[in-house]
Amino acid sequence: MTNPSPHETAPNSAADAAMADASALLFHDVPAAVYLRSVDGRFLEVNNATAALFGYADPAAFLAAMDDCPEQFYLDPNARQSVLDALAAGEVVVGRRYQAMCGDGFVIWIEESAKHTVSPAGDVFYVGFLRDVTEEKSTSWALAEAEEKYRTIFENAVEGLFQMTPAGRFVTVNGALARMLRFASPEVLTGLGDAAANLFTHPEDRQFLHAALSETGVVRAMETELRRGDGSRIWVSVQARAVRGGDGAVVLYEGSMEDVTERRRSQEALRHNLKRTKALFHQTVKSLSTTVRFRDPYTASHQDSVARLATAMAKRLGLDRDAVDCIQVAGQLHDIGKISVPVRYLCKPGRLVGLEWEFMKQHAATGYEILKDIDFPWPVAEIVLCHHERLDGSGYPRGLGGEDLCQPARILAVADVLDAMASNRPYRPALGVPVALEELARHRGTAFDADAVDAAREAVTAGDVTY
Amino acid sequence: MAEKRILTVDDSVSVRSLVSSALRQAGFDVVEAVDGADALDKVGGGFDMVITDINMPNIGGIELLGILRERHDTRFTPVIVLTTESQKILRDKALAAGASGWVVKPFEPASLVAVVRRFIGRT
């Protein structure tokens, strides 16, 4: 005690009084709740901290409230009785915890420690110490409640959730995953141990999963096929992240999987359908092209050859798949308009003159008319209309110049001329490939596209097309 | 005397069942609600007391308290808050909104029964 006394030389009684004052200060102002009660359990004196602990303005208010209520601040009468019984039996009460009622309706958790004591006059009292432990108690409870909440989310999730060791053992799975994989319960699935690794029908997928998770820590939408508990197969999409141990090694994967079997099946069906539709398209084009055969077999086979040659040229020019398909279809149908040309002109040996020639020239426009209403993915009718145009404007029907002619039309023009000269025609025998190439070379870069002429030469020389 | 009816509101199923079993054993009639919105659907039947959590989905405890105090049929129904929150500022807000008491979880069944009895007496 450092409280300086002004009466240092005073007689003993004054010193005793000062000590009593100091003791009172110690009792009332110590920042811990302390009480003195009689052996019948009544509170005789409490300090300020005790009053504050229970929400009372001062010790007097606390004492009055306790006198009014037989249970005092104890909510469970047994808690109060057992403290008093223990003290009466001479025991020291240490760290008893129970709920207590404050003056303002607040119910807190307190911890009580007490022992009995004897005054100099020989009277027995109980002295005790109270502590607010509400926060301690509620924190652990809040944690338990939060855990329950997350467990509920985990167990009721629609997606299959899992924790898996790198060896393939399921550590934790939810009900949705067990159902998805057709196991009776999550426990059966976790009970498989490392054998669960065999659920992957493609073991390399599991190795990939491990490699990807070690490398980047995350895997998204990885599709793999699994064996189910009943032996059937399922395609799943896996999302997972790696959980690493202290040494940085991956110790656990956790994530979710979703059944994508249906989606994959419909994608497969869609792919199949598309393939069929494409085949149907090419068959239709071919049939259309064949209609010419019944009046004019030469034109029919000419269309087949031009389609082949133009396709080979387009490939040599490095065109993409779609452009090659376009050229093939245009080649296959480029002379369809000859349906409107009288057969006697088509087969006439020698030059066509006057009206005959006018009739013949009409076939490009007729082809356009026949094809223009078909919704091809490419401008097939336009290309057919242009297949007799020349870069220098000397062609027909419109006499267009180079800048107006698209690449497919340029390729088709060259293929048409080469095939016409290299093949037998009804009106003359074949002139031969060398003559045809010579003719093309003569007009290379003027009437004919230079690249197309080169491609035609390469295609024929390399044997892509034979005559 | 008819059993006193108590509505217990908590989004945790384990807390609800702890409250229910403690109060049923003490002779109270208990109805459970999973959050404030559910409580408002059920409270119409006339309850002697409402025991509510604070942090819940949909309608939380403080908001529920405010609505109960507005409704003429629940204006004077004692409401005890049962929560893991112990902050004085929240507690003062609840008391100002008309809460009768504030019990910090966890709770002893006997203590909860004692609190209820202090507010609405014996069944």
DSSP state letters, B50-112 = EEE-SS-SSS-HHHHHHHHHHSTTTTT--EEEEES---HHHHHHHHHHT-SEEEESS--HHHH
Task: Report CA A418 to chain centroid distance, whole Å.
Answer: 55
3-class secondary structure, A106 = strand
Contact B14 A141 (CB under 8 A): no
Contact B15 A145 (CB under 8 A): yes
Q: Give the range among A2-16, A55-69, A228-242 with minimum mean pLDDT.
A: A2-16
The overall average pLDDT reported for chain A is 90
A358 shares its domain with A458: yes
Q: How far is A216 from chain B (nearest CA, A)?
A: 36
Cβ(A97)–Cβ(A109) under 8 Å? yes
Q: Who's near B30: CB < 8 A, 6+ residues apart?
A: B5, B6, B7, B8, B19, B20, B23, B24
Considering only CB atoms, A106 lies closest to which of B12, B102, B114, namely B102
Considering only CB atoms, B95 lies closest to which of A98, A104, A137, namely A104
Domain extent for A419: 269-462
Considering only CB atoms, B12 lies closest to which of A71, A99, A148, namely A148
Domain boundary among A209, A225, A259: A259
Q: Closest residue of B to A146, CA-based?
A: B12
The two three-digit tokens of residue A96, written as one number: 């008893």
A363-377 residue pLDDT tens: 999 999 999 999 898
Domain boundary among A208, A230, A259: A259
pLDDT given for residue B118 in this prediction: 87
Contact A106 B91 (CB under 8 A): yes
Amino acid at A426: P
Contact B11 A149 (CB under 8 A): yes
| Residue A357 main-chain phi, psi, to 5 deg | -65, -40
Residue A194 lies inside a defined structural domain of this protein: yes
CA distances from B81 to A305, A390, A422, A437 (A): 90, 93, 100, 99
A103 shares its domain with A205: no
Q: How far is A76 from chain B (nearest CA, A)?
A: 5
Cβ(B8)–Cβ(B32) under 8 Å? yes
* Cα atoms found within 13 Å of the Cα of residue A242, Cβ hemisphere only: 19
Q: Please, which pLDDT band fits residue B93 given cuts at 50, 70 and 90?
A: confident
Residue A17 lies inside a defined structural domain of this protein: no
The two three-digit tokens of residue B86, written as one number: 């112990």
Task: Report CA A366 to chain centroid distance, whole Å.
Answer: 53
Residue A5 lies inside a defined structural domain of this protein: no
Question: Is pLDDT of A215 > 70?
Answer: yes
3-class secondary structure, A98 = strand
- How far is residue A337's CA from residue A360's CA, in Å, rounded to a whole number? 9
Contact B101 A109 (CB under 8 A): no
**DSSP H helical ranges for A372-428:** 380-385, 407-422
Domain at A202, CATH number: 3.30.450.20
Cβ(A184)–Cβ(A173) under 8 Å? no
Contacts of B10 in chain A (CB under 8 A): none
Cβ(A251)–Cβ(A222) under 8 Å? no
CB pairs under 8 A between A and B: 69
- How far is residue A179's CA from residue A198's CA, in Å, rounded to a whole number? 18
Question: Is pLDDT of A140 > 80?
Answer: yes
Provide the greatest CA pair distance for chain B.
39
Contact A107 B11 (CB under 8 A): no
A318-350 residue pLDDT tens: 999 999 999 999 999 999 999 888 888 887 877
Domain limits of chain B? 5-117
Q: Closest residue of B to A153, CA-based?
A: B12
Provide the greatest CA pair distance for chain A.
157
Contacts of B84 in chain A (CB under 8 A): 138-139, 141-142, 145
Closest CA to A107 of A73, A65, A77: A73
Residue A16 lies inside a defined structural domain of this protein: no
Domains identified in chain A, total number: 3
pLDDT given for residue A370 in this prediction: 92
A64 shares its domain with A167: no
Contact B110 A78 (CB under 8 A): yes
Considering only CB atoms, A75 lies closest to which of B12, B91, B115, namely B115
Considering only CB atoms, B84 lies closest to which of A76, A107, A145, namely A145
- How far is residue B77's CA from residue A320's CA, in Å, rounded to a whole number? 80
Cβ(B118)–Cβ(A99) under 8 Å? no
Q: Please, which pLDDT band fits residue A150 given cuts at 50, 70 and 90?
A: confident
Contact B108 A76 (CB under 8 A): yes
Q: Who's near A38: CB < 8 A, 6+ residues apart?
A: A44, A125, A126
Query: Does A11 sit behind a cis peptide bond, omega within 30 degrees of 0 on the bond before it?
Result: no
Closest CA to A380 of A321, A309, A449, A323: A323
- End-to-end C-alpha distance for chain A, whole angstroms: 124
The interface pTM score, or ipTM, of the predicted complex is 0.85
- How far is residue A40's CA from residue A87's CA, in Å, rounded to a whole number? 11
Considering only CB atoms, B101 lies closest to which of A77, A78, A107, namely A107
Query: Does A397 sit behind a cis peptide bond, omega within 30 degrees of 0 on the bond before it?
Result: yes
- The H or E element spanning position A337 is none
Residue A101 lies inside a defined structural domain of this protein: yes
Domain boundary among A259, A284, A302: A259
A313 shares its domain with A238: no
Residue A251 lies inside a defined structural domain of this protein: yes
A410-466 residue pLDDT tens: 999 999 999 988 888 777 788 888 999 999 999 999 999 999 999 999 999 998 888
Nearest-Å Rg of the Cα atoms of chain B is 13
Considering only CB atoms, A134 lies closest to which of B86, B99, B110, namely B86
Contact B86 A149 (CB under 8 A): no
Mutate one of B108, B113, B115 to test the A interface: name it (highest A CB count within 10 A): B108
Contact A99 B15 (CB under 8 A): no
CA distances from A348 to A297, A304, A344, A387, A395 (A): 14, 22, 6, 22, 22
- How far is residue B99's CA from residue A75's CA, in Å, rounded to a whole number? 19
pLDDT given for residue A7 in this prediction: 47
Contact B86 A135 (CB under 8 A): yes
A136 touching chain B per CB within 8 A: no
Q: Give the range among A11-20, A78-87, A369-378, B2-11 with minimum mean pLDDT.
A: A11-20
- How far is residue B94's CA from residue B85's CA, in Å, rounded to a whole number? 11
- How far is residue A340's CA from residue A373's CA, in Å, rounded to a whole number? 18
Q: Closest residue of B to A97, CA-based?
A: B108
A168 shares its domain with A83: no
pLDDT given for residue A2 in this prediction: 47
Contacts of A152 in chain B (CB under 8 A): 13
Q: Where does B5-117 sit in CATH, by number?
A: 3.40.50.2300
Which of residues A86 and B1 earns the better pLDDT score? A86
The overall average pLDDT reported for chain B is 89
Question: Is pLDDT of A137 > 80?
Answer: yes
- pTM, entire model: 0.54
- How far is residue A255's CA from residue A427's CA, in Å, rounded to a whole number? 76
Q: Please, which pLDDT band fits residue A287 given cuts at 50, 70 and 90?
A: confident
Which of residues A173 and A20 earns the better pLDDT score? A173
